[in-house]
Structure 1
């Protein structure tokens, strides 16, 4: 579970960096500077957000399964 949490935190950090990069590029564009890879950054950001959502869903599923397994083990140990 720790590895999943670490991966989720790294992904969140990467999303924050991508958000900052997109904002920086947008500001540069509004100042008249040409940015040719703006669409690539937006696509990368969208992909990272999707991966983050998938990892969060997976973490929830894993947590639920672990809770079920722990409950079953406790019931077996009580018998």
Structure 2
């Protein structure tokens, strides 16, 4: 929700009064690099196509005995 609000704010700062889906996509693409922020599930930042950048992913495995372990190291970033 914060990402959507920041994307909308990026557009509204330009003086527009109404948002279109394309405007919102443009506003979200401005959340990148140093403009990214820390969310609950990791870093939130987007590329010019609207795809998440360096999103944290954790793969867990449950053994036959019921123990949970990380299958791999954490991929992506949790902090900027």
> TM class, shorter-chain normalised?
0.3 to 0.5
Q: Which has the higher helix share?
A: 1
Which of the two has higher C-alpha Rg?
1
When normalised by structure 2's length, the TM-score is: 0.35
